[in-house]
Amino acid sequence: MDTKISLAVLFQEFMSTYFGWDISFAKNLRGLITKPHFVISEYLGGVRKRYMPPIVFVSFGVALSSIVMNIYSDEYLNLTSSFGETQLEIIQDSYDEGVIDEKQYQVQLDSIGTSKEIQKITLKYFNIISFLLLPIYALFTLLIFCRKYNYGEHLVINSYLLLLDICKAFELCTR
């Protein structure tokens, strides 16, 4: 059966040929957003052809989010620095009014500086941090919800949930 060539078909062939994946990323994402339990249950139940493998799915999502985070990292840091300035004013007022002493004042200032550095590192290495935390998330969910699934299945579930969390974070940031 001949299929008419459309832009969608050309795009799918291009992505499949050069990146090794098909349009299933968008389908997976849509399914996870609308019916997450259904997608995860089907995948764990053995329906694999319909869905992109979870690690590939998360890899693509984390790569996309890393690109976006690098583009908007300055805006994010500026936004959080304004929050840090507000904290500085509160700490300064508390110190001036004698609510906190010199030692507490220094500890608070140091914690604000440390927080800024952690944010910069997190933005820079988000993709690596995400993959390193994934097995830890799976271990925690295995220990907490150990009744039904094994560790590998918890990795699959957490892979899908990680990407949903990333999508939710983007949604909150764009408001």
Q: pLDDT digit of tens for each residue in the chain (175 aa)?
A: 456 667 776 776 666 665 555 566 777 778 888 888 888 888 888 887 777 777 777 777 777 777 777 777 777 777 777 666 777 788 888 878 888 888 888 888 888 888 888 888 887 787 788 888 888 988 998 898 877 888 888 888 888 888 777 776 666 555 5
Rounded to the nearest 5°, which phi and psi values hold at 128?
-70, -45
Single-letter residue type at 171: E
Q: pTM for the full model? A: 0.63
Supply angle C-alpha 6, 12, 16, rounded to 5.
150
Classify 115 as helix, strand or coil.
helix
CA atoms of 73 and 118, how far apart (whole Å): 13
Q: Hunting for tokens 């299933």 — which residue is that?
A: 24
CB 67 within 8 A of CB 75: no
